Amino acid sequence: MRRRGFLGVLVSIPIVGTAAGRAFGDAPAAAAAAGGHEAALASESMAATLWRYMDHASTWDEAVADLRRYVADGHADAEMFAAIADAIERELATADGEQLDGVLGFYPGAVLMLHGLRSLSDYGTTEILDAQSAFVRRLMEAV
Amino acid sequence: MATAVARVAFAADSGGGGSSKAPKVAAAINAAFGRFSIPAATSLFIGGDEYSVCNASTMKHYDKYLTQPHINPARCVMTPGNHTNGPGGKSNIPDVSAWLSYNQARGTLSRTNGGWITQSQGIPLTDQYVDVAGIRFIFLNSGAVENVVDKPGWPVPHTGGAVAGNSRVAWLRSAWRPGTRNVVITHHARWSYYGGAHDNPTMQNLIDEIMGRNDGTKPHSSLILQGHDHCMQLMHPQGASGTYPGLVSGVIGLCSTAPTTHAAPASNTSQKSWLQFANITVGGCGFLQIDIMDDFSLELSIIDASDTSGKLMTNTPSTGVTGAATATIRTLAS
């Protein structure tokens, strides 16, 4: 198996008005809390879990912060996602006024694609990684 | 000609960090308040959600708003969203105790002493009202918890669709001002342009309560403001479940987050009833400005926060509504 560095591939791709004082009203306190609720999430796929962490990211900075939390919580492929977060941060450090605004879902989707490419890098051949990277680039141009 | 006597800014999904659009929105709101002729008659209402989830660190995102020279924390009210409610304990589960502590420390008007709707899920009773220039703004916790409870609702917990006998319902019925000089603010929208999963049918009870349908009374409000969906829209609800004459539903959820930009499904009929719709472009952001007039009408303007000039958003032409995003809401005294 021949491997190529992941980063190389990555780089290629109150009260106002007349009122004198406060005039506010509060609802009465609710009844006692309902029974205990187990907050633990049901078993779900890595992608679904990651998406939950990153769903509301609006920028790459926020995406990295969300990714770091995912890693810190010890979810699947934490080591790989830590490397991806490192790579994003390195690239961001070299970004110079580029328009990098996203839309809802863009950042988790992009990170999952990077995860796939990284997996090809780790477990596939250079030929496969290069072919898939080229194909993804063509797809990006096609859409 | 009516004269503005108070100005309110409403921003939901507004608790993003320094790399989000929150600083731009905060600066734009500050400028809007600075332009108003009565500086002490300005109020900021926050419609919830800190990103990624509420904790002591992300609550500080609101410092961007509350340290602005023309924004007074003592005239700020927040209502929780699904990224706010929660018991904490994990990094991806909100810790609402941070919201309570922050509001107490900042001296906002947000209610922090109401106990709990569901303590085990970290959903506090924050329902309250604040009167501004003769208009009653009623804040209701719509309840869901990110990564814990998917469905919002009013009241919470759900009681099989029935609302009679619920203490929150009883309170709301006691809180209405006569007529329609009430504005309801909550996090989750009943309807969205995008339809499907963006709609929240579990909020229908609140709409029916506003319309007076649950207890056979008259409509109590002409305006409900929400967030949760990442767009800007003002609409006359016209959904499959019926029409709601006199009610305007607003979603102002583009105050720090990335926009939702996909098209509405053909099955969604609500987009036929737009007052204004500003889906704006990638990277855009804004807030809703409400000027309360001396005849108790409400002048609504969706302000573009890309700068501090106060320019209006323009509508998305494909919705069939063109021009600047403004609307006037008439209210009734009885």
Is B286's pLDDT higher than 80?
yes
pLDDT tens digits, B11-51: 999 999 998 999 999 999 999 999 999 999 999 999 999 99
B114 versus B313: the higher-pLDDT residue is: B114
Look up residue B320 and give its amino acid.
G
CA distance B77 to B130: 9
| Cβ-nearest to A27 among B114, B147, B257 | B114
Is B165's pLDDT higher than 50?
yes
Q: Where are the domains of chain B?
A: 4-329
pLDDT classification of B322: cutoffs 50, 70, 90? confident
CA distance A62 to A142: 28
Of the candidates B234, B290, B278, B230, the one whose C-alpha atom is nearest the C-alpha of residue B32 is B290
Residue A23: the pLDDT is 40
Distances (CA, A) of B175 to A38, A103, B206: 34, 39, 14
CA distance B81 to B69: 26
Q: Three-state SS string across B266-317, please? A: CCCCHHHHEEEECCCCCCCCEEEEEEEECCCCEEEEEEECCCCCCCECECCH
pLDDT classification of B159: cutoffs 50, 70, 90? low
CA distance A27 to A86: 48
3-state class percentages of chain B: helix first, strand second, coil last, to nearest 5: 20, 25, 50
> Within 13 Å of residue B144, how many CA atoms lie on the same side as its CB?
20
Select the highest-mean-pLDDT range: A122-126, B99-103, B279-283: B99-103
Structure tokens at A82: 């830590």
User: Do residues B21 and B299 lie in contact, with contact meaning Cβ atoms separated by under 8 Å?
Assistant: no
Residue B315: the pLDDT is 80
User: Do residues B286 and B305 lie in contact, with contact meaning Cβ atoms separated by under 8 Å?
Assistant: yes
Residue B199: the pLDDT is 87
CB pairs under 8 A between A and B: 162
Lowest mean pLDDT among A116-130, B118-132, B150-164, B215-229: B150-164
Which residues on chain A are in Cβ contact (under 8 Å) with B172? 27
Which residues on chain B are in Cβ contact (under 8 Å) with A36? 120
Residue B160: the pLDDT is 64
Report DSSP letters for B16-68, one per residue: --TTSSHHHHHHHHHHHHHHSS-GGGEEEEE---BSSS-SHHHHGGGHHHHTS
Of the candidates B328, B312, B200, B226, the one whose C-alpha atom is nearest the C-alpha of residue B275 is B328
For residue A15, the chain B residue with the least C-alpha distance is B132
Assigned fold of B4-329: Purple Acid Phosphatase; chain A, domain 2 (3.60.21)
Residue A35: the pLDDT is 33
Cβ contact, residue pair B6, A106, below 8 Å = no
Residue to test with chain B: of A58, A67, A103, most B Cβ within 10 A = A58
| Cβ-nearest to A56 among B5, B21, B52 | B52
User: Do residues B227 and B13 lie in contact, with contact meaning Cβ atoms separated by under 8 Å?
Assistant: yes
| Cβ-nearest to A17 among B6, B89, B283 | B6
Cis previous bond, B152, omega within 30 = no
User: Do residues B183 and B43 lie in contact, with contact meaning Cβ atoms separated by under 8 Å?
Assistant: no
Give CA torsion, residues B310, B316, B317, B321, to 10 deg.
-70
Is A140's pLDDT higher than 80?
yes
CA distance A53 to A67: 7
**A70 CB-near residues (< 8 Å, 6+ apart):** A49, A50, A53, A54, A78, A81, B92
User: Do residues B156 and B307 lie in contact, with contact meaning Cβ atoms separated by under 8 Å?
Assistant: no
